[in-house]
Structure 1
Amino acid sequence: MTVPDSVLKPVEIAAKAAADKLADNIVAFDVSEQLSITDVFLIASAGNERQVGAIVDGVEEALLKHKLKPTRREGDRENRWVLLDYLDFVVHVQHTEERTLYNLERLWKDCPQIPLHVDAPAREAEPEAE
């Protein structure tokens, strides 16, 4: 893997922040060999637009604590696919439908997946129907 620790650390912070906001299917790919514009794609998804927005806000807030601010933020008007560009890494937060449709994992399947050491918080159990 060619991604330096100085990039992996904020990616881990972003992944943890996404998990804290109950993001689904959080994955990261080392795209440094294929792209010259960034090193890592972090991808997460959510089931509705409000949750996409909450995840994006959570990621931004967590990284701001480390003095990292995105150079670009796109797609937050509809909150179906929001992109946060931090130059060395890009965070994609997608609505589940967009994630299925665009299937970024398939597009970047030849890139090494970066292990993320993030534990998703326990979700409250749904009450059982009687």
Structure 2
Amino acid sequence: MSIPDDILALARTAAQAASDKLAGEVIGLDVSELVVITDVFLVCSGSSERQVSAIVDGIEEQLLKEHRRKPLRREGQMDARWVLLDYGDIVIHVQHAEDRAFYALERLWREAPVLDLQIDEGGPAAPAGSDSSSAA
């Protein structure tokens, strides 16, 4: 994999933020060998315009909080059908599920290796000191 660790960390933070907002099919594609404008495409979907907006807001909040990064460019926010967040090294596509099926970015970029985003599907972590696995 040719993605630098800091960019991979950015992609993983964005992916986890999307997953925390119940985004569907969160995937990261290493496009560094295929395009010159960015290294990673992160693609995810929401089932409604409201969810797409919530996913976008969650991603922006986490990337600002954890990496002090704001998008260089944002497109599609008004319609909330396909919102593009451009962070330079990573471009995030948050699509309405219908639009994602129609445009099929994963198929368009099928030559790009899929990244291991290490998403915790269990949701936000439990507070420190709590142990839900211990028996009473």
- Report the TM-score, using the length of structure 2 for normalisation: 0.88
Matches within 5 A, 1:48-87: 48-65=48-65, 66-87=67-88
Larger-gyration structure (1/2): 2
Deviations for 1:82-109, whole angstroms, at most 9, x for unmatched residues?
Answer: 0000000001000000000000000011
Any unmatched runs of 5+ in structure 1?
A: 123-130
Provide the C-alpha distance between the structure 2 equivalents of 1:24 and 1:119, rounded to a whole number of angstroms.
14
Any unmatched runs of 5+ in structure 2?
A: 124-136
Q: Structure 1 stretches (4+) deviating beyond 3 angstroms?
A: none
Matches within 5 A, 1:1-130: 1-65=1-65, 66-121=67-122
Provide the C-alpha distance between the structure 2 equivalents of 1:86 and 1:120, rounded to a whole number of angstroms.
24
RMSD (Å), alpha carbons: 0.8
Match of 1:125 in 2: none
Provide the C-alpha distance between the structure 2 equivalents of 1:93 and 1:71, rounded to a whole number of angstroms.
16
* Per-residue deviation, 1:120: 2.4
% same residue: 56
* Per-residue deviation, 1:121: 3.9
Provide the C-alpha distance between the structure 2 equivalents of 1:18 and 1:63, rounded to a whole number of angstroms.
11
The answer to whether the Cα contact below 8 Å between 1:17 and 1:59 also exists between their aligned partners in 2 is yes
The answer to whether the Cα contact below 8 Å between 1:22 and 1:120 also exists between their aligned partners in 2 is no
